[in-house]
Chains A and B, each alone.
Chain A
Amino acid sequence: MPYEIHGLMPFIYVGLIMLGVVFSLIRFLVGPTAPDRVVATDILTTITTVVLVVLALFFDRQIYLDVALVYAVLAFTAVVAIARFLEGGL
């Protein structure tokens, strides 16, 4: 049975996610130190994975889940690399 967007719940859900993205972006802009910005980027990567899965649901195509899978595997390498750089390793 294909999924169709109707009713109030998808709108509330997307609104909550967008508020989360905007709050993370505000912390990225004002964050006093560099680790604050790295934390904001980490939160944005996880929210992006969820947005990819939800878009796969809204478009009703299973192949779109592969993008989220690749992102879930690879997205943390950027954050770990930057954290190692801050620490003085790398």
Chain B
Amino acid sequence: MHSLILFMVLGLSLVLVVATLVIWLSKDLLVAILASAIVSLIASIFFLVLQAPDVAITEAAIGAGLTTGILLYAMKIAGRYEDD
């Protein structure tokens, strides 16, 4: 693997960690859903780098459409803000 791809993976894993921290710490559940969409995006890139394009296609299809829809439906029932 070329060092350029390693550099790209390093930068994207930084984004992945920050988005996961946002999911953990955010009180606004809509922001958490957006951050989970970003996590699924970057996980799809990582599956491609690990040479599993079929898993990457599945992750792209499910993470982009289905997960966000289900989480939005759940958030509509549960309420948007997390109360302490």
A-B contact pairs, 6 of them (CB 8 A): A51-B8, A58-B2, A64-B48, A74-B61, A82-B30, A85-B72
Please, how many angstroms separate the alpha-carbon atoms of A25 and B16 in the complex?
Answer: 10
Q: Find residues 38-54 in chain A having any chain B CB closer than 8 Å to their own CB.
A: 38, 41, 44-45, 48, 51-52
CB < 8 Å neighbour of A11 from B4, B41, B69: B4
Please, how many angstroms separate the alpha-carbon atoms of A35 and B44 in the complex?
Answer: 24
CB < 8 Å neighbour of B49 from A25, A41, A55, A85: A55
* Chain B contacts to A: CB under 8 angstroms: 2, 4-5, 7-8, 11-12, 15, 18-19, 22, 28, 30-31, 33-35, 37-38, 41-42, 44-45, 48-49, 51, 53, 56-57, 60-61, 64-65, 68-69, 72, 76
Q: A21-B12, A41-B38 are in contact. Are A66 and B18 (CB under 8 A)?
A: no
CB < 8 Å neighbour of B31 from A37, A45, A77: A37
Please state if B4 and A14 are interface contacts (CB–CB under 8 Å).
yes
* Chain A contacts to B: CB under 8 angstroms: 5, 10-11, 14, 17-18, 21-22, 25, 28-29, 34, 37-38, 41, 44-45, 48, 51-52, 55, 58-59, 63-64, 66-67, 70-71, 74-75, 77-78, 81-82, 85-86, 90
Please, how many angstroms separate the alpha-carbon atoms of A17 and B5 in the complex?
Answer: 13
Please state if A66 and B53 are interface contacts (CB–CB under 8 Å).
yes
